Structure 1
């Protein structure tokens, strides 16, 4: 039995805390601010504990990005399963997910998307994920119009990451509705 002064070892909780803290730092300060020292301090563990779970900062960032993409996969699969029309179902789910994010998710993805041009590994992960999803949904979403809709959603999404631009320029619900209508 652990004493009041002794912490029970829970490796999965430590790993989750490290990933959550890395995502929080990336969301508030940008991906460049994610450091081994900063993440371990925020998670309340030693650098050694971080290195027990992740070989280096890049492994931590890769795991964080993978986790976010798994969350996105789950959200997309839920939306696709609820869609009564198979043609364009991935594109509709993609548009919905891209243009209805809450503030926390938007901040996290903002940091990650900003890293696409500066962090080759993040760009590689994103493009591999998207290519896999497009292959998976080739029978229902390979149409050129659907590709244009996804690209338009990306453009609205990227623009919405700036709070000023989103407030001044975008009516995201109207854009989302118009893009979804184009998928039928």
Structure 2
């Protein structure tokens, strides 16, 4: 017997996560413009009314997707921080390593996140707040123009990666990563 909406066991957390996953996938594969409420509901196998139970509008859905991606980025950065030797440039090294690790992944969710930051004022504000909070938290080890240049270079490398046509050869990421990490030491 196939579960119908009437006899299906209610699992709001599972449905909410499925909606978020489908929205993230649509944004990654087709851009933020493809994230329509109907497309997300259909992809998640719920009614549009079911989607509205969790998200009152597209903006709330996009914001929830972005919030989840920022939480994921935080976890990845924290994992890199734990591996780091500490001292000067600790956060910057973790940030750069995380960006470069994600560059190696085909269809990285960060590609969609990057485009969202460029297009959506809420996401842009959240990104700036996240970065400022991290810099305040790591002020003792990560202040200074040289480390800011390293972070900006890593951001530029990431943006070039996101915007690169599929048929264009990438730079040697391993060499670029090594050079940026060397700039954080000392």
Same fold flag (TM > 0.5): yes
Who is 2:116 aligned against?
115
TM-score normalised per structure 2? 0.90
Matched, 1:10 2:11: yes
Who is 1:104 aligned against?
107
In 2: Cα distance, 1:59 partner to 1:177 partner: 39
Who is 1:75 aligned against?
76
Who is 2:138 aligned against?
137
SS at match of 1:97: helix
Deviating more after overlay: 96-105 vs 148-157: 96-105
Matched, 1:157 2:143: no
Runs of 4+ residues over 6 Å off in structure 1 = none
Q: Specify every segment of 5 or more residues in structure 1 that has no aligned partner in the other structure, as ranges.
A: none
SS at match of 1:66: helix
Q: Over residues 135-181 of structure 1, what are the superposed CA-to-partner deviations in whole Å (9 max), with x where a residue is unaligned?
A: 11111111211110000000001111134379524111110111011
In 2: Cα distance, 1:86 partner to 1:14 partner: 43
* Pair 63,150 (structure 1): closer, same or farther in 2 beyond 3 Å: same
Between the two proteins, the alignment pairs up a number of residues equal to 181
SS at match of 2:23: helix
Tell me how large the CA RMSD over aligned residues is: 1.9
* Pair 174,167 (structure 1): closer, same or farther in 2 beyond 3 Å: farther
Who is 2:176 aligned against?
175
TM-score normalised per structure 1? 0.91
Q: Over residues 5-59 of structure 1, what are the superposed CA-to-partner deviations in whole Å (9 max), with x where a residue is unaligned?
A: 5211111110110000000000000011111111000000011111111121111
SS at match of 2:95: helix
In 1: Cα distance, 2:139 partner to 2:52 partner: 40
Q: Specify every segment of 5 or more residues in structure 2 that has no aligned partner in the other structure, as ranges.
A: none
**Does the CA contact (< 8 Å) of 1:149 and 1:183 recur in 2?**
yes
In 2: Cα distance, 1:144 partner to 1:166 partner: 35
SS at match of 2:81: helix
Who is 1:29 aligned against?
30
**Does the CA contact (< 8 Å) of 1:160 and 1:166 recur in 2?**
no
In 1: Cα distance, 2:91 partner to 2:179 partner: 16
* Pair 50,100 (structure 1): closer, same or farther in 2 beyond 3 Å: same
